[in-house]
Amino acid sequence: MFATDDLQQRWWNLEARLVERFGKKPDMESILFLIGIQEFGQIKNKFSKEQKQDLMHVAICRLLTPSGFYELEQTDSDGWPHFRQLKAMPDMNPFEQENFLKDHVLLYFEEHGF
């Protein structure tokens, strides 16, 4: 069995749990948005387009922190976390990038007991 097969199975399991929770299958952007909100810690009725992009950036930085790519530098007075990049991302094709991100998303949800 290939590692990607296991990754794909674990991803499908996560998607199924998210469907149970939210009633529809989220795409990667939606998942990153959810993680960003979780890390920001504030729920608003409406986020601006720029804030949504910031939330997804926060999510990616947080996801890649355990692998040593980023570290939390500070949280500003508005509650936004700010990260510092510690090392460059490896060169990957789009398929590898997607699996790399999926693996980190799965780790995040496991850490949070979901």
Within the chain, where are the H helices?
A: 3-22, 28-40, 49-64, 94-111
Q: What is the pLDDT of residue 2?
A: 57
Summarize the confidence of residues 7-29 as an average pLDDT.
94
Q: What is the pLDDT of residue 5?
A: 82
Whether 1 shows a pLDDT value over 80: the answer reads no
Residues 57 and 29 sit within 8 Å (Cβ to Cβ): no
The mean pLDDT value of the chain amounts to 93
Summarize the confidence of residues 69-80 as an average pLDDT.
95
Q: Could you tell me which residues come within 8 angstroms of residue 108 by beta carbon, excluding any fewer than 6 positions away?
A: 35, 62, 63
Whether 35 shows a pLDDT value over 90: the answer reads yes
Whether 4 shows a pLDDT value over 80: the answer reads no
Three-state DSSP at 97 gives helix
Q: What is the value of pTM for the model shown? A: 0.89
Q: Could you tell me which residues come within 8 angstroms of residue 82 by beta carbon, excluding any fewer than 6 positions away?
A: 72, 73, 74, 75, 76
Summarize the confidence of residues 84-105 as an average pLDDT.
96
Q: Phi, psi (5° rounding) for residue 4?
A: -65, -30
Whether 3 shows a pLDDT value over 90: the answer reads no
Residues 39 and 59 sit within 8 Å (Cβ to Cβ): yes
Summarize the confidence of residues 3-16 as an average pLDDT.
90
